[in-house]
Structures are given as C-alpha cells and as structure tokens.
C-alpha cells in the first residue's frame, strides 16, 4: 500500500471546495445495505451543505472486493464497502477478527470492535492508507442448511456443502467436518436440488432468496460466520476534508451501521418465522465443539497468512471479558 | 469535458486505430488528464479483473468447438443435407445457401466466418449454374446474418455476459428469430429466382430414403446445439463448462465418427481459437474499462433519464432504439457495437418492462443487418472481397434481403412472445 | 475495414491450413506468441474438462482449478493479443483514411502508429507501477501473489510497444509495406 499516514492536510479546511466521493459495493437496490448507503450519503450531503457529495454505485458498477480496497489504498476518491476480511490484505489481523465461530450475538461483535485491540488494528490500517469508518453494517449470521440434523462436527462427516469460492470459507467448512464444494452463487439452488451438494452454508436471507428451503429442511444455527460489511476511505482523502466534515462523515457512517443492524434484526425475525411456516426446523449446536474444530483455521492465519501470533487467544480473551460483563 | 473521451474514441476509431486501443486511449487519457481522483495505474485492476472471469471462458471454448467442427468436415455434410432438402426447388442452390447458414449457426456462431466459408464453397458453384455473381454474393452475405442468432453464437454469449442475463435463456431465445430471418430470406430467393428462372440444383426431390441417409451423416452436427441446450437446461454444467464439453464432443465426433480430424489440424485450430478469442476479449476488456469511465461519470444514468424523458412508451422506445442501432450498426463493427451499446441501452428498455433477453435478440438481429450495409458492413466486405464483387453491384442485389430482414426485425421486436416462449418454457 | 480481421478473426475455415507443423527453430521463433497463448488456452481447457469429470465421476472437484483456469486464460488472451497485434489483425476502420490522397494516408498511418507507440508505452509504464503496488495482493484461493497473473499484461504491452516501434520504423523507411 502507499503511505500518507499522518499528513495533516489542512489545505481544505474552512474552504467550501466540493469533494465528490464514489462509494462502491456489490449489493442491489432491494437490499438493505444499498438503502443504508443512500441514506448516509443523503445525510452527509445535507449536513455538510453539499461540500461532501457521496455518489453510491451498487452491483459492482465500479470496483468491488479486493479491487475496491485497492482503489482506497491507492488514494482514489473512493469509498469501499466490503467484508472486513478484505482488510486482511493490508492488516492481516482483520482476518481472525471475522474468523469462524467467534460471536454468538451481534452485540458481542459490536463490543469487540470497540476494544483497544481492534482500534489498534484500525490504526495500522490507517497507516497503510485505509481509514476505517465503520465495521458493523451487520446483515446476519451464516448457518448450515442440510436435511440432516447437525449438532456436532462428527455429524458433518461426508456432507458436501456449497460455499463461495474463497479460501476462508472452504477451509472453515472443511475444518467443521464437511466437504466444501464451491459453486457459483447462481448454481446454488440447482446444486442443492440435484444433489450435487447435500446442503449449503449461508444466512437465512440466502435460504429464502434462493428457495433452497424447498429441498433442505434443517438449519443448524452454527453461526460460523457473522456477515458484516465495513466502510473504508483513503486516509489521504479523509484527511483532506475539513475537521468539521471529517467529523460529520465519520458520525454518519457510524449512525448508518447502527441503524442497519437494527433493521437486520427485525427483518431476520420475519424471515425466521416465514421459514418455520414453510416447515424448516432450526436447531442449536455444540458451539464449543465447533470452536475447537475450527481452531486450525486461526492457526493457519497466524502461521501462514501474516496474522500476529497469539491474536486468536487475544480475541478470545476480549470475548470472555465482554461475556463476563453482561 | 465529461464527454470528451467519447469524442476521442470516435476520432481514434475513424483514423483506423483498432477499436480496443481507441477505447484504452480515451479512458486512460481521462484518468490521467481530466480526472486524477482515481490513479491511472489502477486501470490494470479493471483489465485483469474483467479478463479473469470464468463465464468469459465460454468464448474460447465455443470458438474452438466451431473450428474443430469445420476441420472435421461438418460444413460439407451439412451442405449435402441442405441440398437433399431444398435442391429441387426453383433457385435450389440459393435456398441451400440460406438454409446452410441457419444450420451452420449451430456450429460456427460467427457471421463473418460463415460468410467467408460460403463465399468460397457456394458462390463459384452458383455462378456455374447461371446465378449472377452479385446475387450469389448477396444471398451469401445476407443469409450469414442468421448464423449468430442460433446457439451457440458468440454474440449471444457476449450479450448475456454484458447484460447479466442467463446464457441458457439467450440460447433458447435465438431459435425462432433465426428461423424467421431464414424464412424471410427464402421468400425473397423464391421471388427473385422465379422471375429470373434460376434452375434447381437437382433434377427432382430427394426420396425419403435419400434424406434419411444424409440425415444420418449430418445428425452429429445437427444435434450439437440441442445437446448443449439440454445440458444447460438440466443444470448439468455452466455455460463455460458446456463450451468445454462441446470441445470434447467435437473432437470425439471428428476423430471417431467422421474420421476427418487429423493431428496436422491442431495448429490451425489453435491459431483460430487464439486469434478469435484474443481480438474479441480484448475489445470486451477495453469496453469494460471504458465502461468504468462511463460509470464514474454516471453517463449511463444520464442517457437513461434523457431517453426516458423523451418517451415512456415501450413500443416507441424500441422503435427509437432500433433506429439508433441501425444507424450506429452501419458505422461500428458488429460485435464491438454490441459490447459498447448494450450496457447503455439495457437499463433504458428494462425500465419500460422489456425483457433483457428479448432486447438482446433485437440488438443482435439489428447489428447483423448493419453488417450488410455500407459504409462499414463487415459481412459485405468479407463476401465482396472473396468473390471479387463490386460494392455497387452487391448493393443492387442485397437490398431486397435487407428489406426482408427488417420485416423480420419488426416482428421480432413487436411480437415478444415469439422470442420469449422457448426461454420461458 | 482491415480485411483479415473479420470480427472473430476466424480465418477462412475451409481446410486450407493443414500445413504440416514445421518443428524447426524458425517456426518456434516466428510463432512464439501463438505457441505461448496456445499452451495457456490448452491448460485452461484441460482443467475445466478435468473438473467436470471429477464432479460427475468422483463426486469431487479441485478447488483451485477455476483460479488456475482463469489465470491461464488471462495469459492466453494477452499474449494472443500480441500475436494479433503483430499481424495488425485487431479490428479497426480504415475506410475513411483509404479515401484520402496517398500522402495524407501515409501521414495518418504514421501518426496512428506513433499514437500506438505512445499508448502501449504508457500502458507498460502504468502496469509497472500497478504491479509494484499490488504484488502483495494474494489470489483468493491459492493465496499466491497476484503478480503471477498481472505480469501477463505488462509483458503484452511491452511486446506491443516494441512491435509498434517496428511499425513506425516501417512507415518511415517504407519497408515491410505488404504486411497486411
Ligand atoms: Na449462406
Ligand atoms: Na453485448
């Protein structure tokens, strides 16, 4: 990445030069994240009297995933909205932060990202040119959907599960005991209905959207991943805003994240009831057993993917504190 | 200033710089000189991301499959088959020419390849039997317009990728319009042949037995597109994988059934695949890079709202878009026109409730007609160059076919059910 | 329209190309780009076929196959683009230029070739910058440096810069006219 760390660029301060920022994500207009981003952009424009205009581009019209963050890290007038694991290319510790089987509730994650441990990671990202504006545009947990009732890793033996084609997902599902089969998202339903796979992993929103519930009737609430997006802007670009505008931008993106998490919770409850009415059964799992099974995924991150040795233990220690404080 | 790169593209294009480089040049100068808020070197991100895409693999695979089929003697067998079917009619060889292009659609998927092949194979034969050279050239060029509409046409795949619609649906949607185009041209052939007294190519109609014998020989090629569609429909493989399966199928048929595929053809087949793939993918990549600039400046949104301000009637809009495409199709190379215009026009028509699959077929038929007209019709150039027909004489013979194709285009445009009933099955 | 550049460049597909593959050095040198591109597209094809077979026969698949297949495709496309460029085979429109007087045609030909040198050279320069900033970026499945893929673009533009310099040289000296 490129530097531009603490350059306090006060040039723009006080001037009412208009800044146009392009915000890019992969979601479509009927999804909550799209709506949330439009809302935040509107609020920022109003509060800065039009000094900061954020143009939102959904559905990968500009650059997404690694490409979006690369734009940010290279100092483009660009805001990238992606899963925090993509920050792992710049600060590897972000991978374990959203690693498997860590969180049991949205609240635990919200508290985790306020800890000094994560704030320190954000600072490192800032030094690499990426200012983190939010990490908690949460849309839900990912669970395992099959016809077999799954409560422990042994139950997953021999099951083929559809995953996205990313290393983290493949490693995690394999570590949980199943065999990961990466299919394109568009092939999910046909894969499930024709038995190419025995089930899939994903959120209940995916389940209802793809109609996979017609073929797989059990959801094991493994909560193996928390689906969430962060918002990232170039440090250089952010610092070029006036302190007043910086504050507005940061506050509004934080506000949008909290709002979205609230909305996601509500719509999740609706989807949950709808799935139950379609005959889908939900069951709890032995979380501790799956936690143990997926430990090697974190070990791999520490040993091979540049994450700080011991970061997993630190994250767990923070989690223990959060849980104790309840 | 926001529109300057569009002007640069046209200036470079008409000064004979290849279209891909015109697009690269315009976009790169935009991010270097006009808007430096995104560093210019990030263009490479766009170039690599848009190339490293699994769905794009359908392009080399189907080009390779088509090329193998040709070296395996498919064209020859298909021609004999069309001859037993149509040869006894007035203007028999001209009818064979039309039907052969339709059937070749299932193999080659490229209008220019088809036009080039039949210019060499059929036009000399037609001349020998008393057809005028210009008329023969016109039939050959016009009928090749139906080839890309029949699956697995490369333009169908390209459109599906660009408009994010299902490749399978695009394939299914092509059959009826392709047949409609062929029928409309056969009517023209019949009228002209009767007036000029063009003879049949065979004495009398083939017997049922003869037809069956030829059918048995050609069946592997005729079944090919249906096999692909069946595999896609049953979810056995993705469109790209279907392309790879097609390659294997064609090799097996060429080696074990027709026994005409030899080792020495491997190199020319490879060359055709590489050259075909690289030139078309480079344009797609360059257009996606140019599209990045267009999105960055929100130009598609501006065009969409401007066009919607003009009319919100879908029938009016389709007429407008058809005229626009016909005019631009005269100036832009077929595939390039599709690649550049589809992303701009699809959002407009879908807002008015037009199915993007239906619209894709309209675009392709339209652009194929542009390939027959001056000043830049690519099939026109291909055929006239190979058969050494002067452009003026060619145009005198081709216009009735253009009228027939325009009628077919109108039907395809305004009777969506005709296009959509197969994909919606 | 440059004539050999029918849009898909599928040259006349009748069996006229079945020349015996000459295995001598000059063949390899004259067709180096073609050979490299052919090698990569073959790998792509074989990988996709193998993965289908594995899926249907052995009920499994290679997780890295898609990434390697598309990576090889990138190499094939860009090295193939050099091969097409070398023969001036990319689609362009010269019908307007052709109507102009001879001197004018020559001048425009020279100008466009100079533009191609500048464009390809600048693209080469930018790709060096891009690669120097992105080589730490890992591929999603194999986790190897993205430079294994992105360097294909650099090599392609450097080669095309060299060929366009050759075109300019031919324009100036009037040599190699008939290289259609
Ligand atoms: Na024909
Ligand atoms: Na297209």
Residue of chain B with shortest Cα separation from A72: B38
Interface test with A, best of B295, B304, B347 (most A CBs within 10 A): B295
Between residues A280 and C62, which one has the greater pLDDT? A280
Give me the half-sphere count of Cα atoms (radius 13 Å) on the Cβ side of residue A300: 14
**Cα of B121 from ligand 1 centre, angstroms:** 10
- State the smallest CA–CA distance between residue C177 and chain B in angstroms: 16
Residue of chain C with shortest Cα separation from A69: C137
Window 266-295 of B, Cβ < 8 Å to A: 292, 295
**Cα of A134 from ligand 2 centre, angstroms:** 37
Rounded CA separation A69/A166 (Å): 17
Rounded CA separation B264/C92 (Å): 32
pLDDT digits (tens, 9 = 90+) for C78-90: 999 999 999 887 7
Rounded CA separation C103/C99 (Å): 11
Chain A residues whose CB is inside 8 A of the C67 CB are: 165
For residues A84-96, give the mean pLDDT.
93
Strand intervals (E) in A7-118? 19-24, 52-57, 78-82
Closest CA to B267 of C3, C70, C30, C85: C30
The verdict on B296 touching A (C-beta cutoff 8 Å) is: yes
Is the pLDDT reported for residue B30 higher than 90?
A: yes
Of A154-168, B70-84, C84-98, which range is least confident? C84-98
Chain C residues whose CB is inside 8 A of the A66 CB are: 137, 140
Interchain proximity A74–B49, CB inside 8 Å: no
Q: What is the pLDDT of residue C179?
A: 44
Nearest to C92 among B16, B66, B116 (CB): B16
Q: What is the pLDDT of residue B343?
A: 86
Helix (H) or strand (E) holding C95: helix C95-98
- Number of helices (H), then strands (E), in chain C: 6, 0
Is the pLDDT reported for residue B413 higher than 70?
A: yes
Mark the ranges of chain C whose per-residue pLDDT is less than 50. Answer: 1-22, 178-180
Average pLDDT in chain B: 89
Complex prediction ipTM: 0.84
Q: What is the pLDDT of residue C120?
A: 97
Closest CA to B342 of B379, B381, B297, B303: B303
For residues A116-145, give the mean pLDDT.
96
Give the 3-state secondary structure of B95-139: HHHHHHHHHHCCCCCCHHHHHHHHHHHCHHHHHHCCCCHHHHHHH
- State the smallest CA–CA distance between residue A68 and chain C in angstroms: 13
Residue of chain B with shortest Cα separation from A61: B295
What Rg do the C-alpha atoms of chain C give, in angstroms? 20
Interchain proximity B54–C70, CB inside 8 Å: yes
Buried b / exposed e over B259-282, threshold 16 CB at 10 Å, is ebbeeebbbbbbbbbbbbbbbbbb
pLDDT tier at B247 (50, 70, 90 boundaries)?
very high
Judge whether B407 and B367 are in contact, CB under 8 Å. no
- State the smallest CA–CA distance between residue A63 and chain B in angstroms: 8
Is the pLDDT reported for residue A41 higher than 80?
A: yes
- Cα A143 to its chain centre, rounded Å, is 15
Judge whether A27 and A231 are in contact, CB under 8 Å. no
Chain A residues whose CB is inside 8 A of the B38 CB are: 22, 71, 76-78
Chain C residues whose CB is inside 8 A of the B100 CB are: none
Interchain proximity A55–B46, CB inside 8 Å: no
């Amino acid at each position: 990445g490129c530097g531009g760390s603490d350059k306090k660029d006060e040039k723009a301060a006080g001037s009412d030069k208009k800044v146009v920022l392009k915000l890019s994500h992969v979601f479509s207009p009927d999804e909550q994240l799209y709506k949330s981003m439009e809302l935040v952009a509107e609020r920022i424009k109003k509060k800065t009297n039009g000094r900061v205009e954020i143009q939102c581009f959904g559905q990968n019209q500009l650059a997404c995933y690694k490409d979006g963050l690369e734009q940010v890290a290279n100092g483009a007038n660009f805001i990238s909205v992606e899963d925090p694991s993509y920050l792992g290319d710049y600060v590897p510790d972000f991978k374990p932060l959203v690693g498997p089987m860590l969180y049991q509730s949205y609240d635990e994650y919200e508290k985790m990202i306020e800890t000094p441990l994560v704030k320190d990671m954000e600072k490192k990202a800032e030094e690499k040119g990426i200012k983190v504006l939010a990490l908690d545009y949460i849309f839900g947990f990912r669970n395992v959907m099959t016809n077999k009732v799954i409560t422990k890793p042994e139950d997953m033996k021999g099951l083929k599960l559809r995953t996205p084609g990313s290393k983290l997902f493949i490693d995690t599902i394999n570590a949980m005991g199943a065999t990961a089969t990466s299919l394109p998202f568009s092939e999910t339903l046909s894969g499930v209905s024709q038995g190419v796979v025995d089930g899939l992993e994903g959120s209940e929103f995916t389940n209802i959207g793809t109609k996979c519930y017609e073929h797989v009737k059990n959801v094991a609430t493994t909560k193996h991943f928390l689906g969430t997006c962060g918002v990232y802007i170039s440090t250089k670009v952010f610092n070029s805003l006036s302190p007043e505008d910086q504050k507005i931008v940061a506050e509004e993106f934080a506000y949008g994240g909290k709002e979205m998490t609230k909305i996601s919770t509500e719509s999740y409850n609706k989807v949950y009831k709808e799935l139950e009415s379609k005959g889908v059964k939900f069951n709890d799992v032995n979380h501790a057993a799956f936690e143990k099974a997926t430990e090697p995924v974190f070990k791999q991150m520490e040993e091979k993917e540049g994450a700080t040795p011991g970061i997993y233990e630190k994250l767990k220690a923070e989690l223990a504190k959060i849980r104790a404080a309840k | 200033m926001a529109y300057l790169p569009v002007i640069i593209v046209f200036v470079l294009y008409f000064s004979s710089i290849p279209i891909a480089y015109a697009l690269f040049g315009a976009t790169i100068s935009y991010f270097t000189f006009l808007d430096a808020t995104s560093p210019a070197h990030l263009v490479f991100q766009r170039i690599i991301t848009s190339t490293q895409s699994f769905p794009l693999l359908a392009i080399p695979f189907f080009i390779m499959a088509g090329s193998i089929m040709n070296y395996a003697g498919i064209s020859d067998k298909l021609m004999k088959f069309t001859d037993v079917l149509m040869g006894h009619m007035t203007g028999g060889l001209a009818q064979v020419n039309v039907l052969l292009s339709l059937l070749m659609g299932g193999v080659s998927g490229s209008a220019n390849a088809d036009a080039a092949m039949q210019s060499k194979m059929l036009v000399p034969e037609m001349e020998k039997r008393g057809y005028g050279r210009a008329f023969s050239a016109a039939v050959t060029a016009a009928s090749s317009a139906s080839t890309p509409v029949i699956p697995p046409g490369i333009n169908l795949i390209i459109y599906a990728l660009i408009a994010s619609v299902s490749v399978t649906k695009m394939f299914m949607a092509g059959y009826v319009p392709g047949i409609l185009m062929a029928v409309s041209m056969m009517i023209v052939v019949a009228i002209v042949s009767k007036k000029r007294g063009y003879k049949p190519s065979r004495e009398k109609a083939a017997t049922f037995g003869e037809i069956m014998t030829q059918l048995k020989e050609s069946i592997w090629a005729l079944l090919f597109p249906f096999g692909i569609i069946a595999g896609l429909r049953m979810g056995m493989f993705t469109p790209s994988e279907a392309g790879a399966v097609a390659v294997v199928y064609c090799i097996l048929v060429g080696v074990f059934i027709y026994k005409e595929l030899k080792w020495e053809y491997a190199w020319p087949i490879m060359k055709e695949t590489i050259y075909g793939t690289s030139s078309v993918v480079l344009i797609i990549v360059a257009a996606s890079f140019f599209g990045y600039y267009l999105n960055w400046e929100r130009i598609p949104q501006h065009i969409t709202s401007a066009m919607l301000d003009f009319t919100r009637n879908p029938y009016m809009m389709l007429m407008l878009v058809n005229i626009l495409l016909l005019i631009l199709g005269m100036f832009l190379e077929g595939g390039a026109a599709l690649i550049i215009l589809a992303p701009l026009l699809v959002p407009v028509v879908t807002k008015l409730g037009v199915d993007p699959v239906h619209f894709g077929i309209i675009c392709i038929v339209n652009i194929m007609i542009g390939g027959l007209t001056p000043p830049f019709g690519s099939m026109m150039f291909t055929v006239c160059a190979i058969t050494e027909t002067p452009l003026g004489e060619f145009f005198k013979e081709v216009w009735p076919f253009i009228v027939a194709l325009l009628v077919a285009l109108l039907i395809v445009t305004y009777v969506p059910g005709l296009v959509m009933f197969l994909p919606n099955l | 329209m440059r004539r050999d550049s029918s849009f898909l460049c599928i040259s006349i597909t009748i069996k006229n190309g079945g020349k015996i593959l000459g295995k001598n050095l000059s063949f390899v040198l004259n067709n180096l780009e073609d050979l490299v591109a052919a090698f990569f597209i073959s790998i792509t094809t074989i990988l996709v076929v193998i993965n289908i077979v594995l899926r249907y026969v052995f009920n499994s698949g290679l997780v890295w196959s898609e990434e390697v297949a598309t990576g090889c495709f990138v190499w094939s496309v860009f090295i193939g683009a050099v091969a097409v460029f070398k023969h001036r085979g990319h689609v362009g429109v010269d019908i307007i230029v052709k109507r102009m007087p001879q001197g004018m045609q020559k001048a425009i030909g020279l100008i466009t070739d100079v533009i191609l040198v500048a464009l390809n050279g600048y693209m080469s320069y930018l790709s060096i910058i891009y690669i120097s900033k992105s080589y730490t970026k890992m591929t999603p499945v194999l986790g190897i440096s993205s430079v294994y893929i992105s360097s294909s673009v650099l090599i392609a533009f450097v080669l095309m810069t060299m060929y366009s310099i050759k075109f300019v040289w031919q324009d100036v000296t009037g040599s190699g006219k008939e290289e259609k």
